[in-house]
């Protein structure tokens, strides 16, 4: 795949617009913010890929780290002034694909992908534990209105599991007809795609699609924006079923009055997940939910919506953590930015963001000063 892009990739001028949000207020590329060497900016990365293709530099583990540390947050696509901007992430994914084909992936990437291939999740946890969080939650049966697609983080990560439970309880309370796949659910493959393992992604996508077909699924509601993105935009024949992110469904339920909300006295700032915002332009639904809760004051961070600063968890980094380990890790920068707003709640709509930002609150010593909460959790709190 990379070879096809080899004809185009030299077009990056390395102007550096990709490092910023649209008002230039600070650097907005997660890997550049973390490491600050030009090599970790999008332009630097594209120049290195081209140099590797031209054999001006050899493969090295460090080169692989530079290429795989991109969180594929799409800020570069949003900010690049050039006509080829929509292809930038594809070029990076293609280079990763080429590295994987040649056996040059980082060990962490290899483990991530192997675990998904063998166990259906990136941690290598048993498939039988996938529904350990879901006691009492109904399995999907043909005729149910929604398939609640939980995803790996929602199934295995403690905070993700809490999000999944909250949402399931809310849907149940609103008498929404839904079910989960339980142990039959597999990884959605969004990160597999972004890491360039196209063969494994196709396999996952085809199997999942087949499963949806067998179960006559017409509507999928995803907990994770990552799953929402892959199922909506990357799966074959995805038009057969509709795909929603849970904030879209929640927003509708609230609008229809199926959930009664009482006052919550919180000052809240909302963090846009990249795969919901920049990838799918869903910016309003989560905000509408927050604004529908009486008593909540919503304040925006400096970088928001199209210009949101990624938490750094994308492209497998929630597990591989190539951007962690520093005060300049994106999640810590983001938490500081949230805290600056004076908000006591940092609201999220993505289990990966939930985990990375919650860890960052602890790393920053901000426990008790700002708390990361999922939007569904806030709705549930208000609905009690």
- In the complex, minimum distance from the CB of residue 82 to other proteins, in angstroms, rounded to a whole number: 5
* Cβ nearer to other proteins, comparing 38 with 252: 38
- In the complex, minimum distance from the CB of residue 14 to other proteins, in angstroms, rounded to a whole number: 5
- In the complex, minimum distance from the CB of residue 71 to other proteins, in angstroms, rounded to a whole number: 18
β-partners of residue 222 are 149, 245
For other proteins, the binding residues (CB under 8 A) are: 7-8, 10-17, 19-20, 23-26, 35-39, 44, 47-48, 51, 56-58, 60, 62-63, 66, 81-84, 302, 326
Q: Rounded distance, CA 10 to CA 50, Å?
A: 7
Q: Rounded distance, CA 252 to CA 68, Å?
A: 37
Query: In terms of Cα–Cα distance, which of 43, 52, 47 is closest to 20?
Result: 43
* Cβ nearer to other proteins, comparing 51 with 240: 51
Tally Cβ neighbours within 10 Å of residue 37: 11
- In the complex, minimum distance from the CB of residue 81 to other proteins, in angstroms, rounded to a whole number: 4
Q: Rounded distance, CA 18 to CA 74, Å?
A: 9
- In the complex, minimum distance from the CB of residue 43 to other proteins, in angstroms, rounded to a whole number: 9
Q: Rounded distance, CA 15 to CA 82, Å?
A: 10
* Cβ nearer to other proteins, comparing 10 with 129: 10
* Cβ nearer to other proteins, comparing 83 with 128: 83
* Cβ nearer to other proteins, comparing 32 with 146: 32
Q: Rounded distance, CA 29 to CA 138, Å?
A: 41
Strand-by-strand arrangement of the 345-348 sheet = 297-298, 267-270, 345-348, 371-374
- In the complex, minimum distance from the CB of residue 39 to other proteins, in angstroms, rounded to a whole number: 5
Q: Which residues have C-beta within 8 Å of that of residue 36, sequence separation ≥ 6?
A: 328
């Amino acid at each position: 795949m990379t070879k096809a892009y080899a004809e185009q990739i030299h077009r990056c001028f390395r102007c550096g617009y990709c490092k910023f949000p649209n008002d230039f207020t600070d650097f907005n590329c997660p890997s550049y913010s973390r490491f600050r060497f030009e090599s970790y900016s999008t332009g630097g990365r594209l120049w290195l890929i081209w140099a590797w293709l031209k054999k001006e530099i050899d493969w090295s583990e460090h080169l692989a780290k530079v290429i795989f540390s991109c969180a594929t947050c799409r800020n570069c696509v949003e900010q690049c002034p050039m006509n080829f901007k929509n292809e930038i992430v594809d070029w990076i994914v293609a280079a990763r694909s080429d590295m994987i084909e040649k056996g040059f992936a980082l060990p962490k990437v290899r483990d991530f992908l192997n675990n998904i291939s063998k166990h259906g999740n990136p941690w290598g946890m048993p498939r039988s534990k996938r529904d350990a969080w879901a006691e009492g939650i109904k399995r999907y049966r043909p005729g149910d209105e929604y398939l609640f697609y939980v995803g790996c983080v929602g199934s295995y990560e403690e905070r993700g599991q809490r999000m999944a439970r909250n949402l399931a309880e809310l849907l149940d309370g609103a008498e929404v007809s839904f079910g989960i796949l339980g142990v039959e659910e597999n990884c959605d493959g969004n990160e597999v795609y972004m890491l360039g393992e196209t063969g494994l992604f196709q396999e996952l996508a085809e199997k999942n699609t087949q499963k949806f077909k067998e179960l006559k699924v017409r509507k999928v509601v995803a907990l994770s924006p990552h799953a929402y993105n892959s199922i909506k935009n990357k799966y074959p024949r995805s038009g057969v079923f509709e795909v929603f992110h849970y904030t879209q469904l929640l927003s509708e339920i609230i609008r229809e009055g199926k959930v009664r909300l009482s006052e919550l006295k919180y000052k809240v700032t909302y963090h846009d997940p990249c795969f919901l915002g920049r990838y799918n332009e869903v910016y309003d639904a989560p905000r509408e939910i927050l604004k529908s809760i009486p008593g909540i004051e919503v304040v925006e961070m400096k970088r928001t919506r199209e210009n949101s600063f990624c938490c750094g968890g994308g492209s497998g980094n929630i597990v591989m953590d190539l951007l962690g380990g520093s005060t300049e890790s994106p999640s810590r920068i983001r938490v500081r930015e949230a805290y600056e707003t004076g908000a006591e709640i940092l609201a999220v709509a993505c289990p990966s963001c939930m985990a990375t930002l919650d860890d960052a609150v602890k790393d920053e010593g901000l426990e008790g000063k700002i708390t990361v909460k999922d939007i569904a959790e806030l709705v549930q709190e208000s609905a009690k």
